[in-house]
Amino acid sequence: MMLPDMFLQLVLQMGASMTTPTLGSLVTVVKGWLFAGRHTLTGVLVAIGGSGSKHHSAYYRLFAAARWRLDALGLALFQLIVPLLKSGPVPLTLDDTLARKHGLKVFGAGMHHDPLASSRHYAVTSWGHSWVVLAVRVQLPCIPGRFFSLPILFRLYLNQKAAVRWRMAYRTRPELAVELLERLCRSCPERHFHAYADSAYGGQSVLAYLPANCDLTSRLPLDARLYAPPPEHRPGTRGRPRKRGERLPSPQQMLEQQQARRLTLQLHGRQDKVRLVEAVAHWYSVPHRPLKVVAVEPLTGGRPVQAFYSTATDDSAEQVLGGYAGRWSIEEAFQGSKSHLGFEEPQGWSRQAVRRTAPLAMLLYSLTVLWFAKEGHSLYKPPFRSWYRHKVRPSFADMLTTLRYACLQAAISANPHGKQGRQNLLLLLPGSLKTVA
């Protein structure tokens, strides 16, 4: 199996910090990962037809023992994404996701909240890994009007029992999120970033420790205690300077007491009429930081009353709401990585293997979208579906199918007279690609 030249160059640039033998093993694993039926290392080796010139254990050592850093790959990938970014702050998306696992000896595994199995009235926990993920949000020139979150940095969260079992200091998800933001912001001090996260990462534990070159937009409790800026401390006044000014209405009270604007918002692919109130205030938890507070009462659509904030106080209410709505793209990245690239399937159990193997699926998600933006969109042919005629934009599954087809073309071009080789290649492909081929 061969990778298209453009995709191969992206993989090589992402892994430039690796040694030559390690990078060669990574390229081989990537080839198999794109076509593997089950995304374990054994399944990857089966997909490429064996281990080639290396012993099969070399590919297990790539994740369990080789000397390379996952953060280095993510930061190199960020530099590849930079040409797709528009001027202004770099939009980031921050969230966590669950990878279900089996086995008591798997490093870092524990019981975590399972959002897919839970309901509003019944919480379900599942055994597995909880990953905190930082992604760069982009809009592709070839797919206008749609956001893509491209994962670049990862941290494995261990609950308190798992931290004690593996003799590690317990760190909360917000603490890991701050570490990810600091890692990226420190690597590019000349750039300004803007992170979008849900309420789990919108509290004091993240807001109070944001890097200097990073803003944050998140949810705000409807009963949040808001204050005016503290008055200027006059010389000779007794006591310490005040941290907070006068008490202001909470977001819920803002909607009840103040005159609200009525407007129509186009968010999440639909139009909603809302009542909206905005103000600049200081939150009790972090009194030193002014926030743009936006309280929203939907008039259509059945959504509840919500409140949001942004540390970028110059942003309009529409920018705050639109930016937060784009956060949903990271959920699509999680779904694509799990459904099509086997994020939950690797079976490594040692410390290094666990921390490195699963994130490769999300890095490949980012590489696939990046390749499609650079080259793949010119190869894409929308499939005809009589029951789905209104589809006009490619999904991630379409991007991955286009990449697999490009791999097939590259392999056939390298061996144009090998009929048996072409038949072997076709055996690796899903039904849709066999029809195209």
Give the global pTM. 0.92
Q: What is the pLDDT of residue 431?
A: 47
Identify the weakest region by mean pLDDT among 15-29, 89-103, 233-247, 307-321. 233-247
Give the pLDDT score at 427.
Answer: 54
The SS3 assignment for 218 reads: strand
Dmax over CA atoms of the chain, in Å, equals 92
d(CA 357, CA 345): 10
Q: Per the structure block, which two tokens stand in for 191? A: 């750039």
- Confidence check: pLDDT of 423 > 80: no
Q: Average pLDDT of 207-224?
A: 96
Pick from 14-23, 172-181, 285-294, 382-391: least confident:
382-391
Q: What is the mean pLDDT of residues 188-208?
A: 95
What pLDDT shows up at residue 239?
Answer: 80
Per-residue pLDDT at 90: 97
Beta strand spans in 107-244 (E): 110-113, 125-139, 147-157, 193-197, 214-219, 226-227
Give the mean pLDDT of 391-407: 90
State the pLDDT at residue 341.
96
CA distance 341 to 345: 9
The whole-number pLDDT of residue 432 equals: 44
Q: How far apart are CA 213 and CA 92, in angstroms?
A: 13
pLDDT in tens, 314-371: 999 999 999 999 999 999 999 999 999 999 999 999 999 999 999 999 999 999 999 9
How confident is the model at residue 429, as a pLDDT?
53
pLDDT at 426: 54
pLDDT at res. 169: 96
What is residue 437's predicted lDDT score, i.e. its pLDDT?
46
Mean pLDDT of the 176-191 span? 97
- Is it the case that residue 177 has pLDDT exceeding 90? yes
Instruction: Return d(Cα 302, Cα 206) in angstroms, integer.
Output: 30
Tokens of 180: 């990810």
What is the arithmetic mean of pLDDT over 153-171? 96
Q: Which helix (H) or strand (E) holds 166?
A: none
Phi-psi region of 302 (alpha: psi -120 to 50; beta: other; left: phi over 0): left
Asked if 403 and 33 touch (Cβ cutoff 8 Å), the reply is no
Local structure of 288: helix, strand or coil: strand
d(CA 325, CA 137): 12
Instruction: Enter the tokens of residue 144.
Output: 């206008």
At 210, is the secondary structure helix, strand, or coil? coil
Distance in angstroms (rounded) separating the CA atoms of residues 258 and 157: 42
User: Are 370 and 10 within 8 A, CB to CB?
Assistant: yes
Looking at this protein, which amino acid is placed at residue 87?
Answer: S
In this prediction, residue 421 has a pLDDT band, given cuts at 50, 70 and 90, of: low
Query: What is the pLDDT, as a whole number, of residue 71?
Result: 97
Q: Which of 97-106, 267-276, 313-322, 411-420 has the lowest mean pLDDT?
A: 411-420
419 has a pLDDT exceeding 60: no
Query: Which residues have CB under 8 Å from 267's CB, separation 6+?
Result: 321, 322, 325
Lookup: tokens for 370:
């990046």
Say if residue 294's pLDDT is above 70: yes
How much is the average pLDDT of 167-189? 97
d(CA 103, CA 347): 9
| Mean pLDDT of the residues in the chain | 90
